Structure 1
Amino acid sequence: MSHPYTCPNCKTNKTRFNLIDQVAHAVKLDPSSGDVVQEYSSGQLDPFHIPYRGPERKVQCGTCGLIEDELVFIKQAEYLKTKQRNG
């Protein structure tokens, strides 16, 4: 479902955005070299590896460059719409 966005920083941009889809890759790194030692599939994490619980999408304002969770842009648009209705 799509929602209108408004940038919470510049408050004027309602049309130009970069949508950033986040795809997490669970890996185990070598502590000394930083090389990937093991890649985990989504259901095969070891007991000490917490699955990614962050947002699926981030949004960047195409005017001022602010990057935030998608919900922040949606809530700003809802706030301004309510504010306009109430005067």
Structure 2
Amino acid sequence: MPSPYLCPNCKTNKTRFNIIEQKPKSVKMNPQTGEVLEEFGEDNLGPFHLPYRGPERKVQCGVCGLVEDEQAFIKRAEYMNNQKKSF
């Protein structure tokens, strides 16, 4: 369900955002060259490779440029809506 956003940094932007979809790719790299040696699927990560547990999306404020988890923008909007109701 869509939720309103409000930038937690500039506290004015309610309309202009960049939504960043995160698509993690699990890899094993050569420590000297940075070359990708092997790519892993979600079902075969190996014993020493933890799966990605971060957010599916991040949001960037289109005004000030702050990049944060989507929840930070949602919570700021909820907080401001609650503040308006209490007056």
TM range (shorter): over 0.9
> Equivalent residue for 1:71?
71
Structure 1 gap segments, 5+ residues each = none
Count of residue correspondences: 87
Question: What's the TM-score once normalised by structure 1's chain length?
Answer: 0.98
2:60 alignment partner in structure 1: 60
Q: Distance in 1 between matches of 2:59 and 2:53?
A: 17
- Per-residue deviation, 1:22: 0.5
| TM-score using structure 2 length | 0.98
> What do the CA deviations read for 1:8-59 (whole angstroms, capped 9, x no partner)?
0111100000000001000000111110000001111010000000000000
Q: Which runs of 4+ in 1 moved over 4 A?
A: none
1:20 aligns with 2:20: yes
Gapped regions of structure 2 (runs ≥ 5): none
